[in-house]
A and B are shown apart, each in its own frame.
Chain A
Amino acid sequence: MNIINFTRDYDADFVSRVEEESGQKVSLCYQCGNCTAGCPYTFAYDIPVSQIMRLVQAGQKKTVLSCKSIWLCATCESCTTRCPNNIDVACIMDVLRHMARREGLAAVPHVKTFWDAFLDSVRAHGRVFELGLTVNYVLKSGRFWTDLDLGPKILPKGKLSMTPHDIQGKEHVARIFERFERESNS
């Protein structure tokens, strides 16, 4: 069991930022554990979701933002759907990874690399170019064996395009990303 020194470690600003960005009241959580009971990813998490809720209440910014769980949550919405106090737990998990990104933290780097490769593809083409995304992820992650076994299964199906389908309004989509970056840095 971890012992937390509230006087020394409680980060009030962190708690209010999570509440503001998620629109949720974290103090409503009474630790029933329903979210963890239904969470399909507990087996892979380093901290179960109900304990993340408790750590957020306790203002433990560093522990929460550097944990693996926030990068392994698939937003399956089981926790949000089943919370007896109507806390949007999945939204809080989303907000925690937004904050982790801003702090330069990503405890499961391959997941962030995959998501970034996806968004790079959207930004460049307006739509996701699936084969290009795969190649980009493999190059960035250095995991050259990724899905090699799937190539012979999917390529003969004639579903994967070898070239991207750029949309006419791709500059509009790129501008959304540019403005987002400008707003985030201002």
Chain B
Amino acid sequence: MSEAIAYYPGCSGQGTSKEYDASTRAVCEAVGLSLVDIPDWSCCGSTPAHTKDHTLSAALSARNLQLVAGMGMKLAVTPCPSCLTNLRNATHRMEQAAFKSKVDKLLDEPYTGGVDTQSVLQALVEIVGIDNLAAAVRTPLKGLKVACYYGCIMNRPPEVMAFDDCENPMAMDNILTAMGATVVPFPLKVECCGAAYGMPRPDMVGRLSGKLLEAATLLGADMIAVACPLCQMNLDLRQGQVNRTLGTNYRIPAPYFTQLMGVALNIPDAQIGFDKLCVDPRPILSKALTGAD
């Protein structure tokens, strides 16, 4: 049976993280989660909005929550943790009537409420379930060693995100284990990668993403699986900048966890989109998969 859920791709899903969006859609379809696009969704405002004003940030999210309510749906999922944190913070803060009335003043119509939001990661684990995901595997990722990196805000703060362990999340580890991969005990699962400072302060991203690349290397991981478009950009597109900042020579693929799921579920290459990444995971992946036999 297919479960229909509203889908919020987020702006990067139409640009720098196209492959996350495409692989998410394909994986969800393969495991029976039916995603319905929110018509004419708009940007959540991301970090720039909440650093300017919380009411403005919540209003930008509320426009989208209202569109979900208009679809007659009660749950929306998004692959992007930054979108998620804004949507969930808006919902959380609007539980206070005084705050909600300030948000409503910025909207064309007051927000009617009743919409919950989750990450795609949470929906895969809690709605589909690990057993069903494991049953859908066609090509087990045997021999592949992966460090699962969740990013800083997928699970934090726990009062708002209400999913998994805030210091040692396991959802992605459990999924990729079910896909047949070997996950390494990665101690920096929720450490910040440098976030959106790549453009104004690339030195900060160099130092913080460098720590992640170093830890994954020391653990002997073949690649770092990620769940956030910004983390992915810092670890992959900016890996050369990190190397120049630190005088290192890392070359570690950082695919989205949904792309690795795509391999295990025999999803066509065009929807997995490994060709969209800067450090190509395919050579290591095929070596690992053939070496295991």
Contacts and interface: CB of A to CB of B under 8 A. Distances in A.
Interface of A: 40-41, 43-44, 72, 74-78, 80-81, 88, 90, 94, 97-98, 101, 108, 110-111, 113-116, 118-119, 122, 126-128, 130-131, 134, 137, 141, 146-147, 149-150, 153-154, 157-161, 165, 167-170, 172-173, 175-177, 179-180, 183-184
Contacts of A161: 14-15
A98 B53 contact: yes
Interface string B267-286: 00000000110100000000
Interface residues of B, number: 61
B204 interface: yes
Interface stretch (B23-31, B100-108, B246-254, B258-266): B100-108
Q: Which of A44, A76, A98, A158 has the most CB of B within 10 A?
A: A76
Contact of A72 (B15, B52, B53, B204): B204
Contacts of B19: 159
A53 B46 CA distance: 25
Contacts of B34: none
Contacts, number: 166
Contacts of A88: 157
B153 A119 contact: no
Interface of B: 11-12, 14-19, 40-43, 45-56, 59-60, 63, 102, 105-108, 152-153, 156-158, 166-167, 190-192, 194-202, 204, 207-208, 237-238, 240-241, 275-276, 278
Contact of A159 (B40, B53, B276): B276
A77 B152 contact: yes
Given A98-B52, A160-B16, A80 B192 contact: no
